[in-house]
Structure 1
Amino acid sequence: MKIQSTYKLIVLLTASLLLQSCFVAKNYSRPELETESLYRTDQLPQDSISMANVSWKDLFNDEQLKSYIAQGLENNLDIRIALQNVVAAESYLKQGKAGYYPTLSGTASFTRTKNSGNSQFGSFFTRPLEQYELSGSLSWEADVWGKIRSNKRAYGASYLQSVAAHQAVKTNLVSGIASTYYQLMALDKQREIAEQALEARKSSLETTQALKDAGQVTEVAVKQTEAQVHTTEIILINLKNNIKLLENAFCILLGEPAHEVQRGRLDDQSIDSDLKTGVPYLLLANRPDVMRAEYGLINAFELTNVAKSSMYPSLKLTANGGFQSLEFENWLDASSLFSQLIGSLTEPIFNGRRLRTQMEVAKAQQEQALLSYKKTLLTAGREVSDALYTYNAESEKLTARSKELEAYSTAEDYSEELLNNGLANYLEVLTARQNALNSELSYVDSQYGQLSAIVELYRALGGGWK
């Protein structure tokens, strides 16, 4: 009898292993996407080299900036939140890997039953019945249709998705710190320009007052010059306020309370790395948000496999055994041993449409993940194109701004000299002064714009997390 039972068990185990080849779950393959013309550029990529492969430690030359980036990567709250997401996803991954293993549980119980005297067994058992039990239960489900495997892969994709999300936060943080740092230096330079202009306006006001006393200009000229002084004061107030606000925002990136930020000078900044974009296909490997979107697609794909496998029969083996006795003294005797082995094949038939709904929802979510992946890739290509054209535009504007500033500065000097000699009116002087100040401030904007465009290109290509 025992040999027959053993034979049945071996047959059942063998059948379950053979059925492993009956997987209904499919293997993921990357969808075909157009990447050749993903972004527009006049510099046609000739090789697979991208500036995204350059470490931020080598890209930036300012030691103070590199110190701030390292500090931000260590303390930034978004980085720390993303790391905890990785830890949580890793726990789920371990759970998915454990899906192949059997489950084991233990039970220790004491039961005391007092039957009613009018019940079926009350007339036979007048005294309370006591039962002691110490048992274990072992259960294992065969992965016949690939449900456990797909569930494990879904957890793996979810884990990698959280890692990519952490990398995306690092990329955005590096570019955010660098761009804000350069912007602070640009505001510093504009503040210096405004302070110098204010001193010049005050001196000009005294000169205009003297010319008015000499009868060369009217009171209108004095008031116009005085108004220009106050206009420059307003510009200076706004710049100082913007510096304070930007310092506060910069400290948030570092994960610190607001404080003054030490920094260098804008004229000393340069980024010497070659602006190489590489082939567009590299965005799939360099952009963390693109990788995160693909892992999201893989996760949805595997969950669709799980939903599909749930509609097929499940094969489960269950073994129970232990000690069971009506008397405490005989509880752990050999005669109290019991065992039970169950092999079951369960096919869901009526379940309130739950499985079919689960399948339809999984397919819809998989399609959403695919569309999100495509959108993320298109957005990445657009951001690279935008950064390239912005850099080229800022470089051209910087050259034009330099010539404009030189022309306005010369016009300001000539108009003031002509006014002092009575050969020009005060309106020409006021216009020349204002144009010169605006041009000088705009030149600084273009300096910052050029540096910011390089940082944005670095981020758009996926640099900063390596």
Structure 2
Amino acid sequence: MKSIIKHTFFGKTILIIVMAFTLQSCFVAKEYERPELAETQNLFRTDNLPTDSISMADVSWKTLFTDSYLNQYIEEGLQNNIDIRVALQQIISAEAYFKQGKAGYLPTLTAKATMTHQELARNSQFGSFFNGAIDQYELSGSLSWEADIWGKIRSNKRAFQAGYLQSVAAHQAVKTQLISSIAATYYQLLALDAQLAITEKTIATRESSVETIKALKDAGQVTQVAVDQNIAQYNNAKALQVDLEAAIFRTENTLSILLGKAPQHFERSEIDVQVIDTDLKLGVPATLLRNRPDVMAAEYGLIESFELANVARSNFYPSLTLTGSGGFQSLELDELLSANSLFATLVGGLTQPIFNQRRIKTQNEVAKAQQEQALLNFKKSLLVAGNEVSNALYTYTAETKKFEYRQNEVEALRNAESNSEELLKNGYANYLDLLTARQSELSAELNVIDSKLQQLLSVVNLYEALGGGWK
């Protein structure tokens, strides 16, 4: 008799398992396909549309930036920056969820050991039989497994995976932004240094000019107004020196934050020796999908929402759950581990939601809306990327042209100042001509440095816009 029961039990178990695996092939979950984005085909606004798949973003930042100080600071920033470390912790959190998603196919297994003491009414049916009290001991385990009939577990796993990859892409985006910020801040420091050097030189020149103009006044060639105007120009340059020193102080503090350090002075080179030899290759617009971390993160967000929509849709269908429990159960502790104390239970059931206060329908509608939102964010990320690439490229071209004009302007103003000063000494020019030439020359020299800075910054911005730096 026991043999028949045993065979029947195992036969039912095998039947339920076969049914589970048979139904598991009936997936309703859709497969993700990258959407066609017609409005993002011509992302780069330029007369020379790129046809080469090679992009400037494929170049390592160690190759792009040749300044040894800058490379050292970027290396330190990647190691110590607070935002980088926060992003790493986000990856660790996402990885934990990813591992949980991969374990979705596995059954849940629990074990328990209990001792129950129950006082029964002595006049009750069981109380009189057990003399008013009963003790029961149990050592058991239970196992539960859900068959992935409609692909819900698989979609959940893929959603967790997409979430993990999105956190990785977000970390890469932080690296790209950090490298760009460190380079930009470093170049700003070099530009401020150069502007300060020019201002200090101008101060020395104007201090000498004040003495010269005083001598001319004593000789009766100019009035006190000319002396006062020269003194005013001298003090104007001194005030500019204070502004530049303050800007350098603040910029060094900004660089300290980027490097995860306390505020301090940083050693650096000069702006005149900065040369970027890398070809400014854009690559075809499609390269943004594999190079630009924020675009990749946006697509992973779309994949995650797509898979979660699969999960929400599968909740409309019945779920098949297989549950089993077994162990030892006895009224006497010393007989707990005997063969007669063994018990086992196997339950296989289909659960179909019928009425649950509209929760499943709401979840499905919300999932669809979130999927559409993720798609729009993905499209926007591509459009923003194309806009940033176009702006950076145009800025570089414009600043390169402007730099030549600025240099010509400085050379002309230097000649004007020299000639005006010579003519004034000989009584052939008005002191106002000299003051105007001097003020214009200082502004032009500062503008030349700013134009050089803008060239460097536009290359940095282009590098970031194309998604360089994180590889």
* Structures share fold, TM-score greater than 0.5: yes
Counterpart code for 1:450: Q
Match of 2:288 in 1: 283
Cα distance, 1:100 vs. partner? 0.3
Counterpart code for 2:430: N
Match of 1:410 in 2: 415
Whole-angstrom CA distance in 2 between matches of 1:333 and 1:452: 81
Whole-angstrom CA distance in 2 between matches of 1:52 and 1:440: 33
Match of 1:453 among 454, 458, 461: 458
Counterpart code for 1:15: M
Counterpart code for 2:377: S
Whole-angstrom CA distance in 2 between matches of 1:119 and 1:442: 102
Match of 2:28 among 24, 27, 40: 24
Whole-angstrom CA distance in 1 between matches of 2:270 and 2:403: 18
Query: Unpaired segments of 5 or more residues in structure 2?
Result: none
Cα distance, 1:328 vs. partner? 1.1
Cα distance, 1:120 vs. partner? 6.4
Alignment pair present for 1:56 and 2:58: no
Using the size of structure 1 for normalisation, the TM-score is 0.98
Encode CA deviations 1:51-81: one digit per residue, 9 max, x unaligned.
Answer: 1000111111111111111111111111111
Counterpart code for 2:227: V
Match of 2:15 among 7, 11, 24: 11
Whole-angstrom CA distance in 1 between matches of 2:232 and 2:121: 105
Whole-angstrom CA distance in 2 between matches of 1:11 and 1:336: 27
Whole-angstrom CA distance in 2 between matches of 1:432 and 1:120: 116
Whole-angstrom CA distance in 1 between matches of 2:381 and 2:437: 48
Match of 1:298 in 2: 303
Whole-angstrom CA distance in 2 between matches of 1:397 and 1:451: 13
Whole-angstrom CA distance in 1 between matches of 2:431 and 2:237: 17
Within 5 Å, give how 1:179-218 maps onto structure 2. Answer: 179-218=184-223
Cα distance, 1:121 vs. partner? 4.5
Q: Percent of aligned pairs with the same residue? A: 60
Query: Unpaired segments of 5 or more residues in structure 1?
Result: none
Whole-angstrom CA distance in 2 between matches of 1:92 and 1:113: 43
Aligned alpha-carbon RMSD (Å): 1.2
Match of 2:372 in 1: 367
Alignment pair present for 1:355 and 2:360: yes
Match of 1:337 in 2: 342
Encode CA deviations 1:25-57: one digit per residue, 9 max, x unaligned.
Answer: 100000101343111112321311111000111
Encode CA deviations 1:391-435: one digit per residue, 9 max, x unaligned.
Answer: 001001101101111111111111111111111212111111100
Identify the range of structure 1 (291-300 vs 331-340) with the bigger mean alpha-carbon deviation. Answer: 331-340
Alignment pair present for 1:97 and 2:102: yes
Encode CA deviations 1:264-315: one digit per residue, 9 max, x unaligned.
Answer: 0111110000111011111111000000000000000001111111121110
Identify the range of structure 1 (286-295 vs 70-79) with the bigger mean alpha-carbon deviation. Answer: 70-79
Match of 2:237 among 232, 243, 247: 232
Match of 2:92 in 1: 87
Identify the range of structure 1 (392-401 vs 11-20) with the bigger mean alpha-carbon deviation. Answer: 11-20
Whole-angstrom CA distance in 2 between matches of 1:242 and 1:6: 81
Identify the range of structure 1 (155-164 vs 420-429) with the bigger mean alpha-carbon deviation. Answer: 420-429
Q: Determine helix, strand or coil for the equivalent of 1:105.
A: strand
Q: Determine helix, strand or coil for the equivalent of 2:25.
A: helix
Counterpart code for 2:395: T
Match of 2:404 among 395, 399, 406: 399
Cα distance, 1:179 vs. partner? 1.1
Match of 2:134 among 125, 129, 134: 129
Match of 2:172 among 157, 167, 182: 167
Maintained 8 Å contact 2:44/2:386: yes
Maintained 8 Å contact 2:77/2:260: yes
Match of 1:309 in 2: 314
Alignment pair present for 1:263 and 2:303: no
Q: Determine helix, strand or coil for the equivalent of 1:201.
A: helix
Maintained 8 Å contact 2:109/2:141: yes
Q: Determine helix, strand or coil for the equivalent of 1:316.
A: strand
